[in-house]
Amino acid sequence: MFSSAVRCLRGEKSMTAKPLTSYPKGSKVTIKNYCAGQQARCRLCAMGLTPGTLVEVASGGSGPCRLRVRGADMILGQGLADKVLACPCHEPPEE
């Protein structure tokens, strides 16, 4: 799984991107890229999951992946969530 993620990120400076399903509950991540075909890319973009978007993983691991994106909750199936590559986001806590 991770070797395909690295192949999809060739040419990018950051090689720490991992699939959304590999982050634990409560993680805040930034979407970096997709490792998907054209149809999946279009679907992800239509849902607002574009590169550079901040996402909070509400539940991860095996099974569906629940996310908070741009003030909305959404659920991605594990297969589609595996195709979204993200890096940890280190933000100051909200007050």
The pLDDT-based confidence of 1 (bands split at 50, 70, 90) is very low
In eight-state DSSP terms, residue 94 is P
Class (C level, CATH) for 2-88: mainly beta
Residue 23: strand pairing partners: none
Is residue 57's pLDDT more than 90?
yes
Predicted pLDDT of residue 13? 45
| Residue 89 backbone phi and psi in degrees, to 5 | -115, 125
The pLDDT-based confidence of 91 (bands split at 50, 70, 90) is low
Instruction: Enumerate the domain spans of the chain.
Output: 2-88
Note the pLDDT tens digit of each residue in 20-53: 999 999 999 999 999 888 999 999 999 999 999 9
What is the value of pTM for the model shown?
Answer: 0.75
No. of H helices and E strands in the chain?
Answer: 3, 6
